[in-house]
């Protein structure tokens, strides 16, 4: 997953992009980058780096990113060696000297065949990510100065998930794939148009939310004022398939995406989950921070008190210090510590949004037992994750997904639970207003597009498998 932002026609566009990326940091912590267009010099400036937004940009870097138009990107940490080369936005110079910058959220499903084809034609790739395919397709398709047509041509050849913000010599192009897998919203403030993965970025920038870019739509926003038009490039019969996992886990609770208020949506998932399977417990405790909002719904539905009894240490960063040999299961404790008095002798209803591998939950439940919990009932606010995602969510391989390997009772036994319930797929879909507009492939295996034959570990990194 990734977060992307674009902004037009404003003083210090890069500085606003910086703060917008701050609001989107939860969508990617591996690398951060901004490209600005300096309309005075006609030069696109780029700064990218490994790490969080505040680690990557200094005041000097922002000053260097001059201009009234900018786009930005934060990249999710996937397995394998993080490479600065893969940091986005990409910036290249194509035919006619056009400076093209591109920020991409999503994964292409026909990346390998496209890359092979382009390499056969003599194209040289600089990164191992599928996003670079867009750049080559656009460069090849460009005729004269019609960038919009070249982008549409490129989109007609790729398959899969892509929310894109492209900047070509100061003009922005915001594109969402025909299925609309990932969110991309439009905001405005003063004369400035903004595009961002989530609306929480607009709140930070004091911009107003306008609407989402629609599936199959391209918005073109010129560097000057009032210069904005929309076009649809996809066949009308492509079904909308938005990623429901964005609502379950990925998006920030203070965002609106896919027309849903994420906070209310998660509370409703928690409520329906408890309606489906009440827990005989004294209180509801979330796994912080992912389980908090479903817990609030669960507590309100059940009448049980909500207790914030697992304390998360927010100073824990991406440290590589190893624990000493006499510290067992250290990873359990360094991030989250239970409040002893809330656990001992109590029957607990513990809530999280999903179970992926189950290893962390197992050691945490064991810790609750060790501290004297009388009973541990576990409630999950989404169905079991059983299938890989080819559209941008970085699940482990099926062999590592606990729900692919075991049924619900086996999982409850393995985790040492007194009871376990997953929200049903119907329950999940009844928490949203347009149930048939969602991709639920990770739960059902029903993919809305062709997918690569052999399931590969990291669909986005087409060179590693």
- Give the residue numbers marked as catalytic: 2
Minimal CA–CA distance to 207: which of 229, 185, 184? 185
Q: In a 3-state reduction of DSSP, which class is residue 300?
A: helix
How many amino acids of this chain bind a second copy (CB under 8 A)?
88
Residues numbered 167-186 forming contacts with a second copy, rule: CB under 8 A: none
Site membership for a second copy, residue 37 (CB under 8 A): no
Of 79, 208, 239, 316, the residue at the interface with a second copy (CB under 8 A) is: 316
- Residue 452 CA to residue 464 CA, distance in Å, equals 14
Given its phi and psi angles, is residue 259 left (phi above 0), alpha (psi -120 to 50 degrees) or beta? left
Residues numbered 234-253 forming contacts with a second copy, rule: CB under 8 A: 252-253
CB 29 within 8 A of CB 55: no
Q: What is the CA radius of gyration of the chain?
A: 23
Residues numbered 331-350 forming contacts with a second copy, rule: CB under 8 A: 333-334, 337-342
Query: Minimum distance from CB of 384 to a second copy (Å)?
Result: 26
Query: Minimum distance from CB of 325 to a second copy (Å)?
Result: 7
Nearer to a second copy by Cβ, of 325 and 409: the residue is 325
Of 235, 236, 314, 454, the residue at the interface with a second copy (CB under 8 A) is: 314
Nearer to a second copy by Cβ, of 27 and 362: the residue is 27
Q: Is residue 408 within a helix (H) or strand (E), and if so which, with residue range?
A: helix 408-415
Nearer to a second copy by Cβ, of 140 and 386: the residue is 140
Site string for a second copy, 121-160 (x = CB under 8 A): -xxxxx--------xx--xx-x------------------
Kindly give the pairing relationship between strand 438-439 and strand 242-243.
parallel
- Residue 308 CA to residue 313 CA, distance in Å, equals 13
Query: Minimum distance from CB of 266 to a second copy (Å)?
Result: 10
Residues numbered 63-122 forming contacts with a second copy, rule: CB under 8 A: 92-97, 119-120, 122
CB 268 within 8 A of CB 435: no
Query: Minimum distance from CB of 123 to a second copy (Å)?
Result: 7
Site membership for a second copy, residue 39 (CB under 8 A): no
CB 351 within 8 A of CB 284: yes
The C-alpha angle with vertex 362 and arms to 358 and 363, in degrees rounded to 5, equals 130
Residues numbered 202-231 forming contacts with a second copy, rule: CB under 8 A: 203-206
Which one-letter DSSP state was computed for residue 213? P
The whole-angstrom distance between residue 205's C-alpha and the CA centroid of its chain comes to: 20
Query: Minimum distance from CB of 27 to a second copy (Å)?
Result: 11
Binding piece for a second copy, criterion CB under 8 A, among 225-233, 239-247, 299-307, 416-424: 299-307
Nearer to a second copy by Cβ, of 57 and 181: the residue is 57
Nearer to a second copy by Cβ, of 77 and 264: the residue is 264
Site membership for a second copy, residue 11 (CB under 8 A): yes
Query: Minimum distance from CB of 321 to a second copy (Å)?
Result: 6
Q: In a 3-state reduction of DSSP, which class is residue 390?
A: coil
Residues 6+ apart with CB under 8 A from 55: 32, 49
């Amino acid at each position: 997953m990734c977060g992307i932002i674009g902004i037009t026609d404003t003083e210090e566009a890069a500085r606003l992009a910086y703060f917008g990326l701050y609001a989107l940091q939860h969508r990617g912590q591996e690398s951060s980058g901004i490209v600005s267009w300096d309309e005075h010099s006609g030069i696109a400036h780029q700064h990218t780096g490994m790490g969080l937004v505040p680690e990557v940009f200094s005041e000097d870097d922002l000053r260097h990113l001059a201009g009234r138009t900018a786009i930005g990107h934060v990249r999710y940490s996937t397995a394998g060696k993080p490479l600065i080369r893969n940091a986005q936005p990409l910036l290249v110079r194509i035919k006619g000297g056009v400076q093209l910058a591109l920020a991409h959220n999503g994964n292409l499903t026909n990346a390998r065949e496209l890359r092979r084809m382009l390499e056969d034609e003599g194209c040289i790739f600089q990164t191992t990510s599928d996003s670079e395919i867009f750049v080559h397709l656009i460069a090849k398709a460009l005729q004269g100065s019609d960038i919009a047509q070249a982008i549409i041509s490129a989109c007609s050849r790729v398959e899969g998930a892509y929310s894109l913000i492209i900047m070509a010599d100061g003009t922005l192009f915001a594109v969402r794939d025909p299925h609309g897998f990932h969110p991309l919203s439009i905001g405005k403030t003063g004369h400035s148009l903004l595009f961002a993965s989530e609306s929480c970025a607009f709140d930070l920038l004091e911009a107003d939310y306008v609407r989402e870019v629609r599936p199959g739509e391209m918005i073109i926003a010129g560097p000057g004022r009032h210069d904005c038009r929309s076009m649809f490039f996809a066949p009308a019969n492509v079904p909308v398939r938005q990623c429901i996992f964005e609502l379950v886990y990925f998006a920030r609770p203070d965002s609106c995406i896919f027309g849903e208020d994420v906070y209310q949506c998660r509370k409703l998932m928690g409520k329906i989950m408890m309606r489906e399977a009440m827990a005989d417990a004294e209180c509801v405790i979330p796994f912080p921070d992912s389980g908090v909002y479903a817990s609030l719904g669960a507590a309100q539905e059940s009448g049980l008190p909500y207790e914030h009894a697992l304390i998360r240490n927010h100073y824990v960063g991406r440290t590589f210090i190893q624990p000493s040999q006499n510290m067992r299961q250290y990873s359990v404790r360094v991030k989250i510590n239970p409040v002893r008095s809330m656990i001992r002798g109590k029957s607990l209803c513990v809530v999280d949004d999903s179970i992926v591998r189950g290893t962390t939950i197992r050691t945490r439940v064991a810790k609750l037992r060790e501290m004297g919990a009388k009973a541990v009932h576990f409630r999950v606010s989404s169905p079991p994750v059983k299938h890989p995602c080819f559209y941008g969510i970085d699940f482990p391989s099926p062999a590592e997904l606990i729900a692919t390997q075991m049924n619900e009772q086996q999982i409850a036994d393995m985790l040492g639970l007194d009871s376990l319930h997953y929200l049903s797929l119907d329950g999940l879909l009844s928490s949203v207003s347009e149930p048939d507009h969602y991709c639920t492939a990770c739960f059902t295996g029903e993919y809305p597009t062709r997918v690569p034959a052999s399931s590969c570990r990291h669909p986005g990194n087409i060179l590693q498998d």
